[in-house]
Chains A and B, each alone.
Chain A
C-alpha cells in the first residue's frame, strides 16, 4: 500500500506537484495520467525518492519513506523506464541480476532467479540469458526490463511509460502479458502514462493530473462515466462511453439461462418457446449443451419437422470472458443485434443484445 500525504515538489518557484493526496491499495495498478508537464512523472519519482519531495510524506506499507536510506529504499522498489535502460555492457542475465547482486544474494540463487524470470516474461532462458541487449528487439528488451524490475521480488513496482517506445502491435501483446503477470504476482504498481486507452486497459485506479494537481482519482469506469470536470472529460475523450466497453465483461451483461432447443426437438416446440420469450430466433445446442446453430421464427412457425432440418449457422459468437468492445465489434461485423455467449468450452451460457449493452452503459448516468 502506498500513501501520499500532501506531497509537494517545487523546482525553484515552479510548483511541479502541488499537495497531492492519494492512496494506492496493495495489489492495485494505479495509472498516473495527464498531459506532459502535469506532474505525473515527478509524483512517481518521489515514491522512490529519485526526486525528493519539498514537503509532505510518502508511506509504503505504513513506513515513512523519508526515514529509509534512499539507496536501500530503491532496491526494494522495482523500476521500469520508457527508454528501458538495460545496461549494454551486461548480458541479459547480468542485467536481471543487478538488484539481487546489490542485495548480496549468492550467485547461484540470482542466476536461477534470472532464468525463472525470463520464463515468466515468455523468453526462453536457453536463448536469451547470455545475449547482450543490442541483440534483442525492442519488445524483448522491455520484457527483460520488466524481469529486471521484478528480480528481487519487490512489493512495489514503478513504471514510467514502460511500453511507450514499443510499436503498437507489440505494445498490445506486452500489455496483455503484463496484465497476466500482474494477476499472478499482485504487485502494487504505479504506472505513468499519457495514453487513456492504455490506462483503461491496465488500471484498477486512474489518477488524472493537471498542472501539478491531482484532479480526479477513481476507478476507470467512474472516471469515464463521471468525469469530474470539463478538463477530465476532454482528456478522456468524447468517446469515453465507448471506452467503457472495454471495462465490462460479456458475462456481466448477458442474459443467462436462455431458452434453447435441441436438434431432435420439433419446430412446433421451437416456435412455442420463441413466442413465449418474445424472441425471433433461438439457439440450438448439441447433446451436451454446446451452441450449434440458430432457428428463426419465420422458418419454424407453422411448419412440421425437426429443428435439425431448419437450423442456420450462428452468425458469430462471443466468449463470456470477452469485453463488451469485442461483443459490439462482433455484432457490427455480422450485422446482428444479439449474440450467443459461450464459455471456453463452447457451452451456451446466454445471449447479449445491443439493447442490453446500451442499458448497462446508460445505467451509470441514470443512477445519478
Chain B
C-alpha cells in the first residue's frame, strides 16, 4: 500500500519535472536560467551556509532549552514560554528580520539571528512536547532501578522523545530554508538575491534560477532529516519502522 503510493508519487514527480522542463525549454527560460549558473552555485552555497549556521544554532540551543523547561521546578516557565512562543509565531518573519537588522546592522549576522529565532520555536516546542509524552511509569521504573537524573534523561527520556524532537527539527528547517531568501533584503545574501532581483527586473529566468534551487534545497533537507528520523530513532519507539 505505502510502497505503491510511493511509486505513484515518484512517477508523477518525474512526470511533473519533465513537463516543467519541457515548458521552460519551449519558453526559452531554460537557457536564461542556465545563464545564471555561476551565481546559482555561489548563492546556493551562501544560502546553505545561512541555513546550516542558524539551524545548528537553533538545535544546539533549542533542545537544551526544551529539556530545561521540562525539569522539575521549571514547568511553570514552560507554560509561560509556550505562550510567548505562540505569540512570537504571529509576528511576521519580515518583521523579525527587520528587528534583527535594527539591532545587529546589515549583513549575514542579523539574517542568521532572525532565522535562528524563527527555527528555535518549533524545536523547543517539540522537545517539550516529546519529553512530556514519555509515560510517568517509565520514569518511575528508571528511578526505582537506580538511574541518576542525567541517566534517566539520556537513556530513557531523550530516546523516547527522539521521534517528536526530530519532527520538530524537520519542520523548523523546512521553515528555515523557505524563509532564508528573505535574508537578501537585509543584505544577508543567499538565493533570495536571484529571486528578488529577478522580480525587480521582471526577469523570470533569474527569478526561477533562485526559486528552483530553493525549493530543491527544502525537499533535500526534508528528505535528509526524514532519513535521520527513520534510522536514528530506535525501532521500538519508531512509528515508521
Contact residues of A with B, CB < 8 Å? 48, 50, 71-76, 79, 81, 83-91, 98-99, 102, 132-134, 148, 158
Interface string of B116-156 (1 = CB under 8 A from A): 00000000000000000001011011111111100100011
- Say if the beta carbon of B235 comes within 8 Å of chain A: yes
Asked if B147 and A71 make an inter-chain contact with CB atoms under 8 angstroms apart, the answer reads: yes
Asked if A87 and B148 make an inter-chain contact with CB atoms under 8 angstroms apart, the answer reads: no
Q: Which residues of B contact A148 (CB under 8 A)?
A: 145
- Which of B137, B142, B146, B235 contacts A73, CB < 8 Å? B146
Known: A50-B144, A75-B146. 15 other contacts (CB 8 A): A50-B140, A71-B148, A72-B146, A73-B146, A74-B143, A75-B145, A76-B146, A79-B144, A85-B140, A85-B141, A85-B142, A88-B138, A89-B156, A99-B146, A102-B145
What is the CA–CA distance of A158 and B140 in the complex, to the nearest angstrom? Answer: 13
With both chains docked as a complex, state the minimum distance between the C-beta of B241 and any C-beta of chain A, in angstroms: 10
Asked if B236 and A132 make an inter-chain contact with CB atoms under 8 angstroms apart, the answer reads: yes
Asked if A81 and B140 make an inter-chain contact with CB atoms under 8 angstroms apart, the answer reads: yes
Known: A83-B137, A85-B138, A88-B236. A99 touches B160 (CB 8 A): no
- Which of B144, B236, B237 contacts A48, CB < 8 Å? B144
Q: From A75, A81, A85, name the one whose CB has the most chain B CB atoms within 10 angstroms.
A: A85
- Which of A75, A79, A81, A89 contacts B160, CB < 8 Å? A89
A selection of 19 A-B contacts at a CB cut-off of 8 Å is A73-B146, A74-B144, A74-B145, A79-B145, A81-B141, A83-B135, A84-B141, A85-B137, A85-B141, A87-B159, A87-B236, A89-B234, A89-B237, A90-B234, A98-B155, A99-B146, A102-B145, A102-B147, A158-B144
Chain B stretch 225-241: residues in CB contact (< 8 A) with chain A: 234-237
Closest 10 pairs between A and B when the two form their complex, measured CB to CB: A85-B141, A132-B236, A75-B146, A74-B146, A79-B144, A83-B137, A89-B159, A89-B234, A88-B236, A89-B237
Q: Which residues of B contact A71 (CB under 8 A)?
A: 146-148
With both chains docked as a complex, state the minimum distance between the C-beta of B69 and any C-beta of chain A, in angstroms: 22
Asked if A79 and B148 make an inter-chain contact with CB atoms under 8 angstroms apart, the answer reads: no
Asked if B140 and A102 make an inter-chain contact with CB atoms under 8 angstroms apart, the answer reads: no
Give the interface size bracket for B toward A.
20 to 34
Asked if A99 and B137 make an inter-chain contact with CB atoms under 8 angstroms apart, the answer reads: no
Q: Which residues of B contact A158 (CB under 8 A)?
A: 144
With both chains docked as a complex, state the minimum distance between the C-beta of A104 and any C-beta of chain B, in angstroms: 12
What is the CA–CA distance of A84 and B142 in the complex, to the nearest angstrom? Answer: 11
- Which of B140, B143, B148, B236 contacts A134, CB < 8 Å? B236
Q: Which residues of A contact B162 (CB under 8 A)?
A: 89
Known: A72-B146, A75-B145, A102-B151. A133 touches B137 (CB 8 A): no
- Which of B143, B151, B160, B235 contacts A132, CB < 8 Å? B235
Closest to B135 in A: A83
Q: Which residues of A contact B155 (CB under 8 A)?
A: 87, 98
Q: Which residues of A contact B144 (CB under 8 A)?
A: 48, 50, 74, 79, 81, 158
With both chains docked as a complex, state the minimum distance between the C-beta of B147 and any C-beta of chain A, in angstroms: 7
Known: A88-B236, A89-B160, A89-B237. A102 touches B137 (CB 8 A): no
Q: Which residues of B contact A50 (CB under 8 A)?
A: 140, 143-144
Asked if A81 and B137 make an inter-chain contact with CB atoms under 8 angstroms apart, the answer reads: yes
Q: Which residues of B contact A134 (CB under 8 A)?
A: 236
Asked if B236 and A133 make an inter-chain contact with CB atoms under 8 angstroms apart, the answer reads: yes
With both chains docked as a complex, state the minimum distance between the C-beta of B208 and any C-beta of chain A, in angstroms: 45
Q: Which residues of B contact A84 (CB under 8 A)?
A: 137, 141
Closest to A149 in B: B145
With both chains docked as a complex, state the minimum distance between the C-beta of A169 and any C-beta of chain B, in angstroms: 24
- Which of A81, A83, A89 contacts B236, CB < 8 Å? A89
What is the CA–CA distance of A14 and B3 in the complex, to the nearest angstrom? Answer: 59
What is the CA–CA distance of A20 and B206 in the complex, to the nearest angstrom? Answer: 82
With both chains docked as a complex, state the minimum distance between the C-beta of A281 and any C-beta of chain B, in angstroms: 58
What is the CA–CA distance of A74 and B142 in the complex, to the nearest angstrom? Answer: 10
Q: Which residues of B contact A73 (CB under 8 A)?
A: 146
What is the CA–CA distance of A132 and B156 in the complex, to the nearest angstrom? Answer: 14
